Structure 1
Amino acid sequence: MTTVTPPSGTDPATGSATAPSAPASPPATPAAPPSTGRGHPAVGWRLRFAALALIWGFSFLLIKVGTEGYAPFQVTFGRLLFGTAVLAAAMAVRRERLPRGARTWAHLTVAAFFLNALPFSLFAYAELTIPSTLAGICNATSPLWGMALSLVALSEDRPTRRRVAGLGIGFLGVLTVLGAWQGFSGLDVGGTAMALLASLSYPVGWIYVRRTLAGSSSSHLSLTGAQLTLATLQLAVVTPLFTSAPSAFPVVPLLAVVALGALGTGVAMLLQYGLVAEVGPTTATMVTYFIPVIATVAGVTLLGERLGWNTPVGALIVLAGAALTQGRAGRAPSGKGLGRPRARPGRP
């Protein structure tokens, strides 16, 4: 999933980040979860947490199904279009306005590219040649990239033995997933590289947002809605240049794209906002650890993708390393949504 969130603190993320800086970390005024009228959420946070993990975990399967009928850029454009529609509806219901100021919109344009347009497109292209299970695991490396980049780009981040060890363990896990000891045989290098670049794009965007939009007075929902709108416009320009209009509209791939956008990008962000507001960014971002597991189970059981022993073993090593990098002794970027520094999980 995605959006912006100027991070702060430290927290794990999938396709997302590092410690307490929630992907959907709310701004000064976080989006409130649905209420029954008594000040309590209409649906328990654990059920919403499980729903969020399932939605994001199945996103990789939906990307794979979508690309079976449409070009990768078309899948990404549809995803952003339907996701933006959901957020626009939420903004209308809550009477939120889009942010103002040319400078804010300029920064949001860059954020939209690195947090939405680029990674979504890379994952779509990657899944033309690699299994959805591998794409989901590559997404889980985002916290590792985030920590490595934050140590270089953010002066307030200080390395600790635990976090450096986590970084090393995490990338050892990546090599295990890729089967480095057998010369990466049977691996599509291009597709895997695109998936890893997609996961790298998220922390680049987080760091940019942290440096430029952390002090914004606009609400989190407003900034995220504007960000997705800009990403949709970027794909609206690029898609016709590199793809031709589809001659047919296969139903199943089309439904996959609609679900990917409306659920995986729109509804998922709203669920995330509510969770961060209710239980805090640290608990909310734990969803990160379930996404690659669900993506793997979905790919194997529903798409019949093969799974070598090194894939689940390497994935566990990656997640263990990512968990270690989330130590409290430093601040790292995370989150795909905008707002004030806090924690965040990730979306593919």
Structure 2
Amino acid sequence: MTQTSISTRAWAELILLGVIWGGSFLATRTALDEVGPLTTVLWRTGLAAAILWPIVWAKGMRAPRGGRIWGALLVMGLLNNALPFSLLAWGQQYIASSLTSILNGTTAIFGVIIAALVFADERLTARKSLGVLIGFAGVITAIGPAALMEFDIRSTAQLAVLGATFCYGLSGAWARATLRGLAPLEAAAGMLTCSAVLMIGPTLAVEGLPSVSLSASTWAGLIYVSAISTSFAYLVYYRVLAMAGAGNLMLVTLMTPPVAIVLGAYVRDEALLPSAYLGLALLAVGLLIIDGRLLRKRAI
């Protein structure tokens, strides 16, 4: 199967998406200075849903109908938003936002593995297997093998981030299996609505009633992750998907960490060990091998 070529406009929007999602790690970490992780996710999903629904209606669309589709959206909201957002936010309390972005790059790797296990047309070829192994070697390098043996709060936080990326991989398979035929914008609005509903109970039980008396920087972080890196990013995401295809869209995974690393260094004075950069390089190599286009070009 050939890759869809990428137009100049698609490249521009793909880079924009990488910058937006790269900034989301700093915005989340900024909000966490004053707001708990569950409250951060509740604000993020609730505000994002409130922004998307008027866009859905303005485009002449309507809310999904039927218990089956809303049940599928509820599971999607759990796997793609509520659970991974919560794990990422909790983890970012203990590790640098830049390191979180590097570990988040395993989303594509878990997606390939889960798709191979679930769908007959997504078999794990030798090339993809090599890419997965190199990618996981990058993750282990970034975390540090010793940290995996200690299981202190920092290593646990890194495992929580990896758990979030595993959830993203599951959500991709779930969406393909259950949400076909539903307009992407309707699916995103419905999914985020379900996510917000799912977050209400845990947030109230663990962190209490969310406060609106927050600092300007906290509100800026919350508005960024909801309005920009969730609502607006979904609109850009589906535009790039239509223009460039799913295979090319995976390249955004390689663009996000450098943005997060630069922002973390300049805004929060975050410093990463050399092993983290080596891990990012190995992860990038693994993702490029999974993508396959460089190998095909060398064979021409």
Contact 1:178–1:187 (8 Å) recurs in 2: no
The C-alpha deviation readout for 1:170-205, integer Å capped at 9, x for no partner, is 111111101216776788121111111001101111
Gapped regions of structure 2 (runs ≥ 5): 294-300
1:246 and 1:277, CA in 2 relative to 1: closer, same or farther beyond 3 A? Answer: closer
Match of 1:48 in 2: 13
Q: Which has the higher contact order (CA 8 A, sep 6+)?
A: 1
1:101 and 1:322, CA in 2 relative to 1: closer, same or farther beyond 3 A? Answer: same
**AA in 2 matched with 1:175:** I
**AA in 2 matched with 1:192:** Q
Match of 1:151 in 2: 116
Runs of 4+, deviation exceeding 6 Å: 182-187
C-alpha RMSD over aligned residues: 2.4
With the length of structure 2 as denominator, give the TM-score of the two structures: 0.88
Contact 1:127–1:191 (8 Å) recurs in 2: yes
Match of 1:59 in 2: 24
What is the alpha-carbon distance in structure 2 between the residues aligned to residue 268 and residue 226 of structure 1?
16
Does the alignment pair 1:138 with 2:76?
no
Structure 1, 62-71 or 92-101: larger mean CA deviation: 92-101
Match of 2:276 in 1: 311
1:59 and 1:234, CA in 2 relative to 1: closer, same or farther beyond 3 A? Answer: same
Residue 272 of structure 1 aligns to a residue whose secondary structure is: helix
Residue 313 of structure 1 aligns to a residue whose secondary structure is: helix
Contact 2:203–2:209 (8 Å) recurs in 1: no
1:101 and 1:294, CA in 2 relative to 1: closer, same or farther beyond 3 A? Answer: same
The alpha-carbon deviation at position 293 of structure 1 amounts to 1.4
Match of 1:320 in 2: 285
Q: 1:236 aligns with which of 191, 200, 204?
A: 200
Gapped regions of structure 1 (runs ≥ 5): 1-8, 12-19, 21-42, 329-348
Alignment of structure 1 residues 192-341 onto 2, 5 Å: 192-214=158-180, 216=181, 218-245=182-209, 248-327=213-292
The alpha-carbon deviation at position 222 of structure 1 amounts to 1.1
Q: 1:191 aligns with which of 146, 152, 157?
A: 157
What is the alpha-carbon distance in structure 2 between the residues aligned to residue 102 and residue 140 of structure 1?
34
With the length of structure 1 as denominator, give the TM-score of the two structures: 0.77
Give the total of aligned pairs.
289
What is the alpha-carbon distance in structure 1 between the residues aligned to residue 109 and residue 166 of structure 2?
9
Structure 1, 289-298 or 260-269: larger mean CA deviation: 289-298
Contact 2:13–2:240 (8 Å) recurs in 1: yes
Match of 1:6 in 2: none
The C-alpha deviation readout for 1:148-179, integer Å capped at 9, x for no partner, is 22232323332221111111111111111012
What is the alpha-carbon distance in structure 1 between the residues aligned to residue 132 and residue 149 of structure 2?
21
